Amino acid sequence: MVRLESVGLRYGHGPEILKDVSFRLEAGGFNFLTGPSGAGKSSLLRLLFLGLKPTRGLIRLFGEDVNSFSRGSMPTIRRRIGVVFQEFRLLDHLTTYDNVALPLRVAGKREARYRADVMDLLSWVGLADQAQAYPPVLSGGEKQRAAIARAVIGKPELLLADEPTGNVDPTLARRLLHLFVELNRLGTTVLIATHDLKLVQQAKAPVLHLERGELRPV
């Protein structure tokens, strides 16, 4: 599903943010990405979402070298990836329901076929009563849950989550972890970047640990 070989990343002429990073994510796997702030976790996720290109090294995604992807193919490839961003990236002019349904709408699906699924997912993440609310009136935790729902609604092949439980209480964090585990059980490859060691302990999944841009043993 994902393979990195000796990947390096730098911004402009600055120092390398990632240094000789190599690992594989097998199809259907569930992994955590840990490390202190500034270790390069978010930058690594941006590489996997094709938001950045590596300075050096090889990245293969879905069996293909990312450098071979044409600009025209990017939207289709990105629809195979679900992403939970730290900054949420909800659209303020859309309701919670419409934000979550957006990936399905962009894919050309009819609302009559997905409305029940969207409402079920909103109920699961505790946002059924906020379905018609707009992002500016939501709390940080509510925005985070909406962002998670949007990322998983299309049952992506690869899910990348950047601190997905950072703004929720421990009880809801466990519930969201269960959602990720269930999605993984249905075939989605999952990579979660987190500082939450309790979350890691609960899932008992393999861990990739970054320190100063390098993968280190846990």
pLDDT computed for residue 87 by the predictor? 87
Which segments of the chain belong to CATH 3.40.50.300? 1-80+169-218
**Beta-carbon neighbour count of residue 106 at 10 Å?**
11
pLDDT computed for residue 170 by the predictor? 85
pLDDT computed for residue 37 by the predictor? 87
Q: Is the pTM of this model over 0.85?
A: yes
Q: Which residues touch 216 (CB under 8 Å, ≥6 apart)?
A: 209, 210
Block mean pLDDT (10 aa), the chain, length 218? 95 93 95 92 94 94 91 88 91 97 93 95 93 95 92 94 86 86 92 89 91 90
pLDDT computed for residue 203 by the predictor? 86
Q: What is the second-level CATH architecture of the domain 1-80+169-218?
A: 3-Layer(aba) Sandwich (3.40)
pLDDT computed for residue 5 by the predictor? 96
pLDDT computed for residue 161 by the predictor? 93
